[in-house]
Structure 1
């Protein structure tokens, strides 16, 4: 089914579809795109945002690291640092990137230890919009996948909610690629929140927790898991309403933070589990961080349904198609 390619291309498709609506409210979206919102990619190439650019950075570094085992924090950290700094300095970094990513990457470029460069109080969706490759990478233990997903977030976003939401996003992608039924996903994510609530991955995160003022590493991470649990409660409420036509941000949040982006991206996917284009269209037609919401919805839908579920002609039109194809093909 080429599920890795489905996820990585789906992520870019959602990002591209949601980019023109990111800073519009629902009235503006309907006025510009009609009642249904955007349904087709625009342009050739169809441009993406920093969401896809940074996902590619995470993915290409992972490809390099996995070719040089063992996969450890000491191996991947400088690779991600280099890729993030390259993104910072790229002339294509002109897609309204988030201030947290810019600020942290400038610190990385200046040679600061990443624990000092990261924005410790930020839980923005930049933490998990780019984590899908960690979920797709084959052969990782659960502990390694968890630590790596949190580390890639922590390089720029040091808040525990960003870390927890990134881990949940990566595991959602992994579980869907492994065949989990979408209806089982919210419960599985909730169970992981409870299981991991006091687990601090010191080998991957070092002394990051000390920057928070928390009394212990366990207290630090618990805050993130608890916030994600609250957001999963909102997801359950939204799914119970099963409203496919209203703004998906109304209950689960606008997606500017990592936990909201996870919940609202999941909502868009779970409302349309067998209709991937509708899932990303719903994310794009939202009042919040529409490109990140649709980006995550596309990753979830593609991980479940594979590359063939997307319109064939989109693959040749999406920006960075060669990089996306390289990552997907390596892990299909």
Structure 2
């Protein structure tokens, strides 16, 4: 959780800059130090905390089911929408969907059906960290938290992959084994629609079956994993990480480029989030995902000790970390 926030904070000032602008303003390495006290984060961390706080509440009242967690996530997302701190250039999809949730619409009507923006998976790390969930429950919950705002199947699949990457790394998977494991997950889940969690989300014009709907998401994620393999084979640790895996504005690109930054520096977490922050795309989301992967792999001691007291929402991040470490 702290790695996610660190990456988010470092990437925030470079989000809409080109590589030339980043280098001109911050030097060749991009931003390398947290700025401010507290060091502010963006909506990425704010919404990840919202997802995590609702999960904490739900796990205290088992069994963990979609009927239990859905109203909790709705309330937390609406609280985020109305928060005075919600002034960090939040995504239009999240704002639009959360307004619908606030108005009392069923979530399948409030969600933005065609959006696969990275807001679907920038916040999913807590679902990967939460203990005691079966694979089916973790998959369904990962997709549901995405679907509340982003109804595109690729947003759902990328969110599940992001959550499982966090879980596997926290459980000790070697980073080098991660791309193949994610690819296997894509193939295994290609025709699996979690109806208990997603209800009638699949029902769209031109879609004949839920399996058809969800398969598109897994196929698009597989394309990005192909690009990830290409980028890793090149092994370029200095160029813009968005060149091959994508700029990160969409969920599958954010997942792939965040993974690339982490896998280029699997034992150097600060370098990983520096690389994500110095990118031409959605830098804060890319760096926050790289930070989540790095933190899951290496733990809290891998980060500079002085950062923990300076990052915004440190108390909330600590509450989640203490619960799930």
- Which of 106, 109, 119 is 2:102 aligned to? 109
Name the counterpart of 1:156.
Answer: 149
Match of 1:233 among 226, 251, 256: 226
Deviations 1:208-262 (A, max 9, x none): 0003641100000000000000000000000000000000000000000000000
What are the equivalent positions in structure 2 for 1:1-332 lying under 5 Å apart? 8-211=1-204, 213-332=206-325
The residue matched to 2:123 in structure 1 has which SS?
Answer: coil
In the aligned structure 1, how far is the partner of 2:78 from the partner of 2:206? 28
Q: Secondary structure at the match of 1:264?
A: helix
Q: 1:62 to 1:35 in 2, by over 3 A?
A: same
Query: Are the equivalent residues in 2 in contact too, given 1:121–1:158 (CA < 8 A)?
Result: yes
Structure 1, residues 236-293: CA drift from partner, whole Å, max 9, x if none? 0000000000000000000000000000000000000000000000000000000000
Poorly superposed stretches of 4+, deviation over 6 Å: none
The 3-state SS of whatever aligns with 2:104 is coil
Gap regions ≥5 residues in structure 1? 1-7
Distance, in Å, in 2 between the alignment partners of 1:227 and 1:127 is 15
Unaligned runs of 5+ in 2: none
Structure with more contact order per residue of length (Cα contacts < 8 Å, sep ≥ 6): 1
Taking structure 2 as the reference length, the TM-score comes to: 1.00
Q: Distance in 1 between matches of 2:207 and 2:298?
A: 41
Alignment length, in residue pairs?
Answer: 325
